[in-house]
Amino acid sequence: MQNPLLTEFQTPFKSAPFSKILPEHFVEAILKNINDSISLIELISIQKEIPTFDNTINGLQESSKQLGRNVSLLFNLNSAETSTKLQEVTQKIAPHLSKYKNDILLNKKLFKRVKFVYLKSDKSILSPEQNTLLEKEFNEFVRNGALLSTKQKEKLRQVDEILAIRSLSFGEKILADTNIYLLHIKNEKKLKGLPDFSINEAKSKAKSKNLKGWVFTLDAPSYIPFITYSEVRSLRKEISIAYGSRGYRKNENNTILLIEEIIKLRHKRSKILGYKSHADFVLEERMSLTEKNTNYFISQLYLKSFPFAKKEWDELTLFSNQNLGINKLEKWDIAFVTEKLKKSSLELDELELKKYFSLDNVILGLFKILNKLYGLSFNINNKIEVYAKSVRAYEVYDRNNNFKSLLYLDLYPRAGKRSGAWMTSYVGQKKNQRPHISVVCNFPVPSKSKPSLISFQDVTTLFHEFGHALHGILANTYYESLSGTNVLWDFVELPSQIMENWCYEEEALNIFARHYKTNKLIPKSFIKKIKAISYFQQGIQNLRQLGFASLDLSYHSMNSHEIKNIKKHEDLILDKFNFIKPYKDQCLSSSFSHIFQGGYSAGYYSYKWAEVLDADAFEMFIENGIFNSKVAKKFEDNILSKGGTEHPMKLYKKFRGKEPDPEALIRRSGLI
């Protein structure tokens, strides 16, 4: 069979012909793409013309078009529809990609040209986007060793190749350890407290495994309802311990040695490049700039949050003691007791609330909201090939009927799909090229008798990921490397987190929140309670996220390479953020995929920083109307469409007219 990855796709919108792509195609195609790209880059490097922006920087941007497409396909499928073969291919390709990156960034002749353009070109005749790209290209060379000696460059190359493989291994071990666990219940009495949708899903899961009874797993749609609603404390304990010990069990999926190696390799890399730590290296290109600034930001939020968190914890403890007979709160009780307290104090039953959030209705409502804000329309196209049966493909158009993007919606869990929710792109945006965006979630699968009913938290998750998707869909830049989510890391969550705000507004909820049976609008009393949810246990929630951020920074600080015991180190760092003593058989770090597999190393704090940005930005919508088209257009023109073409603070000030006010988050959280 001819390898489809070696040619331009002859499909609608040049979309991926997934059924024709086999795992082995990636190896042949990507290795050829790498060689072709290196050849083009060599031609750029050896040309005799004086280096200019056009013949050097522009040339670089066009040197890896097909490679970028194929690599995106491989890594996206490895996350959303993986297999043993695909994992093997990804492991095989990873070191080649690392070597390819180093072959470019350690190319002396090429860097000499880039450096000449950076130092000698007339910046005044370049556009702001071109100036940003030039600075980005130059800094990328420097930050990847262009100024190093030959010996140091070789050391860096070796470290990068090993790191690429270790990060992939971490993700594969966590996926395997997640999939290996099953809670098999045969006695119906042990299902007490669980909602029907959870029981039905567990019944289907058992049937698919040729087992009698009910099967619960560590995938979010199965685990979260169980830990939240199960009245059987011993089973909550069992599944909680299993979840918290992923990557920490004494089996082949244990990640502790991998973590130790990743930490040391990152520290070694930063020292080779002349930085004090991996955190210093990362934060140089973040809005916070330094580890000191980041720790200060975390500490200030901690000081404001802790008194509220302590009060909330005492309330939770008293409630569990007086109403549930639980004298000592344990980790496996928190979600359960919190739900009971929320239901009691807010008189809001999450299961009743779910009946107003049919997933199909929420999606249609979200489309209407995006139409009101940005004039977007979403047209399903069943002829565009998808990579799994449940995935839907849409064409997205603006109010002038201009094609903006392809959108893949992948909403339900599968065996080969990692947990969580994310947005990604199969094709990026640049001049004369519109993007192919994907939103991936893990929501409950609909049954024959009932649609997929999602929790309010799931609703906010969907809106969040669509915020990321908007960053891609509405991108309007000249260069792909500055388009969409290609921004400083602590700015990337602004578009996603600001979208969550509409979930709490009556005007927005009335568009999509209807009872799945009666089609009645969500009652105003429920909306008031949803508003109250936004304040509920915000102190505890803040403390939890700040703990993750502190733990992340601690693994990438100046002395991180000296950490001798991951578990003891974690317990020490998290001590002031937790109200429960740590358990010896559980370890958060062992499955902390954001920082050991994903791109959040030394950057997890950006979730809270983005909350500051989005709270401050949404106040502008509140002041002018949540569907104010002028404010939305200003947000689109200065944030969503601009990507990374200018510094984030400059773009933000163009939208807001001022720098973000950290107190906006405190005001929204009710921590005053």
Report, as residue numbers or ranges, the catalytic residues: 465
Q: How far apart are CA 207 and CA 222, in angstroms?
A: 15
Q: How far apart are CA 128 and CA 591, in angstroms?
A: 41
Bridge partners for 214 per DSSP: 185
Cβ-contact 160, 98 below 8 angstroms: yes
Helix axes 220-229, 196-208, angle to 10 degrees: 130
265 CB-near residues (< 8 Å, 6+ apart): 159, 162, 163, 166
The H or E element containing residue 394 is: strand 392-397
Phi/psi of residue 406, nearest 5 degrees:
-90, 145
Reduced DSSP (H G I as helix, E B as strand, rest coil) percent helix, strand, coil of the chain, to 5:
60, 5, 35
- The CA dihedral of 119, 121, 127, 128, to the nearest 10 degrees, is 10
Cβ-contact 429, 480 below 8 angstroms: yes
* 472-492: burial string, b at 16+ Cβ within 10 Å, e else: bbbbbbbbbbbbbbbbbbbbb
The H or E element containing residue 130 is: helix 128-143
Tokens of 77: 């499928």
DSSP code string of 189-247: GGGTT--HHHHHHHHHHHHHTT-SSEEE-SSHHHHHHHHHH---HHHHHHHHHHHHTTT
The residue count of the chain comes to 672
Q: How far apart are CA 240 and CA 223, in angstroms?
A: 8
What DSSP designation does 19 have? G
Q: How far apart are CA 145 and CA 98, in angstroms?
A: 13
Q: How far apart are CA 162 and CA 513, in angstroms?
A: 49
Q: How far apart are CA 303 and CA 391, in angstroms?
A: 44
96 class by beta-carbon count within 10 Å (0-12 exposed, 13-18 middle, 19+ buried): middle
Bridge partners for 300 per DSSP: none
Cβ-contact 72, 426 below 8 angstroms: yes
* 260-284: burial string, b at 16+ Cβ within 10 Å, e else: ebbbebbbbbbbebebebbbbbbbe
Of the chain, the end-to-end C-alpha distance in Å amounts to 65
Q: How far apart are CA 315 and CA 432, in angstroms?
A: 57
* Coil, helix or strand at residue 641: coil
* Coil, helix or strand at residue 379: strand
